[in-house]
Amino acid sequence: MFHLVLIANPFASRVSEPALRAVEEHLSRVSVVETRLTERRGHAIELARSLDGADALAVFGGDGVVNEVLNGLGRDIPFAPIPGGGTSVFARALGLPRHPGEAAERVVAALEDGRRRRISLGRVNGRRFSFSAGIGLDAAAVRRVDELGRSASGKRAGDFAFAWSLARVLAESRGTLEPVLDLDGLGRAAFVLVAKCDPYTYAGPMALHVAPEARFELGVDIVAPRRLTPRTVPRFARYLLRGKGQQEDEAVLYAHDLDRLEIRCDHPLPLQADGEDLGDAEHVLVEAERDALTVLA
């Protein structure tokens, strides 16, 4: 009998007992489902390291638990993210519905039809990421969100909190960010955004397009404004919404489908991967891990 392991984060924004039961019910149509619940940060890495006998793996939670699982995987196994977080960028960028039950139904259809998709992953200083990483601005906003803490039920703050945190970071710098990083072979920039897909992230239902040419099947894309000022912020915001313009803007360092890039910071800067704070870094190695993962999508 087909054996599927389901790793679920009960503290994620959209994960509840009824939702988990519904996801299990859908998946059990085509497999024996073994559910493993995370208990703490980092626990999903441990759970993903022990998948003996499993034929497929699904993860029900937000991007944080998905990232942990990807960093715990020790073998190639068909993988499905089921959105249970406030944003769930990876699952949505793969084309899965936001509703967990509907997403689980799509996964079931992929299993029944034998549909598989091979994609690449990214790495920053050895840490895998599925859709994005950043040095500086967006990583600082991620850290601010984490500092807000979680609700009484363990839920992390959502999109509004991130937008507010980003605005605070910009306000504290008076809207001006000077070049503080060296991108090997590309030049100096104020901050760096690394993308594995388009969109880069979402603001509620709205897709934000940092690197419109980025694709899961390719290497990493780099978008790094040379300098940010109050006058250029609206221009960059238009790029995010329209998904074009940044490729031709001389004020932006843009690179497509890279295998490797070294970045050196003038001083330690915040680093994030898939919305997870990785601490401060002065030297960052960005790599593409091509043909790394089989997804059920």
Q: Could you report the per-residue pLDDT of 163-179, keeping only the tens digit for each?
A: 777 777 777 887 789 99
User: If pLDDT is split at 50, 70 and 90, which confidence band does 126 have?
Assistant: very high
Residue 17 token pair = 């007992």
Distance spanning both ends of the chain, measured CA to CA: 22
- CB of 222 closer than 8 Å to CB of 194: yes
- On the CB side of 230, CA atoms within 13 Å amount to 5
**Phi and psi based region of residue 156 (left: phi greater than 0; alpha: psi -120 to 50; beta: remaining):** beta
Q: Could you report the per-residue pLDDT of 214-264, keeping only the tens digit for each?
A: 999 999 999 999 999 999 988 988 998 899 999 999 999 999 999 999 999
Give the domains, in start order, of the chain with CATH numbers. Answer: 3-115 (3.40.50.10330), 127-290 (2.60.200.40)
Closest CA to 89 of 50, 52, 47, 134: 134
**Cβ-proximal residues to 243 (8 Å cutoff; 6+ apart), any chain:** 198, 199, 207, 209, 212
Question: Which has more confidence, 125 or 53?
Answer: 125
- On the CB side of 103, CA atoms within 13 Å amount to 26
d(CA 121, CA 128): 7
- CB of 272 closer than 8 Å to CB of 138: yes
d(CA 255, CA 222): 5
DSSP state of 155: P
Proportion of the chain above pLDDT 70, given as a percent: 95
Amino acid at 202: Y
Question: Which has more confidence, 73 or 162?
Answer: 73
**pTM recorded for the entire structure:** 0.92
**Mean pLDDT, rounded, of the chain:** 93
